Amino acid sequence: MVSRKNFFSMALMMLIVLFMFQFSQVIKANGNQYDLNEFISEKPLSGKDRWSEERGFTGEREKVLFLGNEEDALGIMVSSWCTYTKRQMTVLKNTKGLWEEEAGTLILIDSGNIDFNEEIDAIIGLAEKGMPVIFCNLPEVSVIRENRKLAQLLGISEVRQEHTELEGVHLFPGFLLGGEVVYQVQRKEEERFQDFDLSVPWYVTGKGTKTYMVGMMDKDVVKMEEFPALIWRNAYEGTMVFAVNGDYMSGDVGMGLLSAMLYEMNAYAIYPVVNAQNAVVVDFPYLAYENAEEIEALYSRKPQAVQRDIFWPGIVSLASNNKLKLTCCISTKYDYSDSAAPMGEDLPFYLQQMKEISAEAGRSLNYKGDDITLEEKAQQDGAFYDITDRIYQFGAAYIEKLPENLEGLLQEENGLEEVSTLVCGERKQEPLISYINDSVTLQEITGVAEEYSYTKDLQLRSLATALGYSNLLIDMQHLRWPVKDIDRWENYSDEVFSDISTFWTQFDYFEQTTLSESDHRIRNFLNMDYEESETRDQIILNISGGNDDTWFILRLHDREVAKVENGEYEELEKGAYLIHGLADKVEIYLSRSEEELRYEGPLFLS
């Protein structure tokens, strides 16, 4: 039996604990300025000052001559890469006028636009003048078979077969960031990941070549050195000729390959990057509880409770376990044939929740229904937020497809005047990151959380190499209108958690950012210019056009970074560094590597 004294002591302790708990929650709520977006830049850089060839430094950086069509996918990729690396680009349809090019020009060739029987001598002439040549793709096998000069330029010693079937793809270490990887199915459940084109021409490369990626075959039947070459380099008359066997260069992968080739053809390579990794949760939270009957039947609770008690804790766990920094794009209403109206009283709760995990709130412009236009959707959303008396500034908005009249959508009357960056889910041929106008940037999605594949992995490595950037989509919209098994939370969350933790977070040395933070860095990246100079033990960067906060990737063959003045550095992997510049002049001091990397040596020598 409890004495009165003990009972009183126990009751007092319980009251104290209750008071402390309630008081801490009051402090937490009062200290949580959930209605302020801390990620918005107060004075964002303007697109009026973006880098262009006309106002850039005139240093020793290679110029780019592209033989092809600048309006197709390959041409757009090359143009974007030149803009991002601050290089002048010239486009020609054919080889006329090539002899006028000066040394210091990098030649990129779309083989589909070249008549090699007529133009091979002009291309060889450029190589003999010391200009590196990159074949972004190869002509038909018959052209290489019949044109001995072209085969010699490419370093092809034998055309073994016009088509052969591969078992997988092997990317060697030291080329793209992320190291060595073999894209080959080992277990039945991995079959869904294999989406490479495994039917390729079988080229065997000759002496003096260095191979970076090959097709996998049965080692008991074919010697490894005779595996079909997919990406390689040939040493031709004192210069380097790169070749890509397959359609790897037309999209994001091409930018990473070009940056890697730049590193291979020079004693070192340094170029600016964004240093931002985004995770965008789209159509979550949702404020209109549509399709309520089906949701209640699936989860045995009201839609509001499903979102608060099931979906949101799962999203928080996903972010915490994988160190993601989320931007949650709120859906006020999606199905305009459903009578459910958005619940304004739910908005403060989710803004508080996002604040506690350092997430940002954005706007989703997704909708369905023929009774409303995109502009009307934006206007109605703006009116809804106005009546909630919120002062939170939505710096980011998500849209599935870019409308033809994008400038018209962003007009003030549509309620999007505070949006500084727009995220697009559908990938077309626009540059990955760019200015829409002088006030708004565009960031395209680079991956979908539940759609990992081998080609997506190669894309991720290429974007890490070229830009230090990724933009991962976690799409919650289909959970409200489930059709397939994957549309149930228990199935979707298992798939997303598994893919993100296993594949999408492998480049964790780049910084996690919200969309507004990424927007700030993208503006700086697009506006800045730089000039580099080198001595035996020092690289000097003179930076202009942005702010005093820039990032570069530096790749070295046989040296290491010893220290950085006016900046910081982090070793990403052997021979690769992330340089953080903190002033307009950054000095990088180098030392000799204890285990020198053989810059000229082959990984896979034929």
For 502-556, the DSSP string reads: IIITS-TTSPB--HHHHHHHHHHHHH-EEEEEEETTEEEEEEESS-S-EEEEEEE
Distance CA 381, CA 332 (A): 7
Contacts within 8 Å (CB) and 24+ apart, 307-310: 308/349, 310/489
Where is average pLDDT lowest: 38-47, 251-260, 446-455?
38-47
Is the per-residue pLDDT at 279 higher than 50?
A: yes
CB 451 within 8 A of CB 459: no
Radius of gyration over every alpha carbon of the chain, rounded to an integer in angstroms:
27
Distance CA 441, CA 278 (A): 15
Average pLDDT, integer, range 448-455: 96
Task: For residue 174, give both structure tokens.
Answer: 């030291």
Q: At what angle do helices 312-322 and 489-499 cross, to 10 degrees?
A: 10
CB 455 within 8 A of CB 196: yes
**Is residue 530 classed exposed, middle or buried when 0-12, 13-18 and 19+ CB atoms within 10 A define those classes?**
buried
Distance CA 464, CA 468 (A): 4
CB 598 within 8 A of CB 575: no
Average pLDDT, integer, range 164-172: 97
List pLDDT tens digits, range 298-314.
999 999 999 999 999 99
Tell me the helix, strand and coil percentages in the chain, rounded to 5.
35, 30, 35
Task: Name 213's bridge partners.
Answer: 171, 231
Task: For residue 177, give both structure tokens.
Answer: 């960031």
pLDDT at 330: 97
Residues, the chain: 606
Closest of 443, 459, 584, 577 to residue 516, by C-alpha: 443
| pLDDT tier, 506 (very low <50, low <70, confident <90, very high otherwise) | very high
| pLDDT tier, 102 (very low <50, low <70, confident <90, very high otherwise) | low
List pLDDT tens digits, range 124-166.
999 999 999 999 999 999 999 999 999 999 999 999 999 999 9
Distance CA 398, CA 366 (A): 8
Is the per-residue pLDDT at 491 higher than 60?
A: yes
Is the per-residue pLDDT at 575 higher than 70?
A: yes
Residue 305 half-sphere exposure toward CB, CA atoms < 13 A: 8
Return the percentage of the chain with pLDDT > 70, whole number. Answer: 91
CA dihedral sign of residues 135, 137, 139, 145: positive
pLDDT at 26: 44
Closest of 541, 523, 544 to residue 532, by C-alpha: 541
List pLDDT tens digits, range 205-252.
999 999 999 999 999 899 999 999 999 999 999 899 999 999 999 899
Where is average pLDDT lowest: 76-85, 233-242, 409-418?
409-418
Entry pTM: 0.91
Distance CA 28, CA 345 (A): 19
Closest of 427, 436, 441, 416 to residue 516, by C-alpha: 441
**Is residue 511 classed exposed, middle or buried when 0-12, 13-18 and 19+ CB atoms within 10 A define those classes?**
middle
CA dihedral sign of residues 180, 185, 186, 188: positive
CB 204 within 8 A of CB 226: yes
Q: What is the mean pLDDT of the chain?
A: 91
Distance CA 460, CA 68 (A): 26
Distance CA 5, CA 11 (A): 10
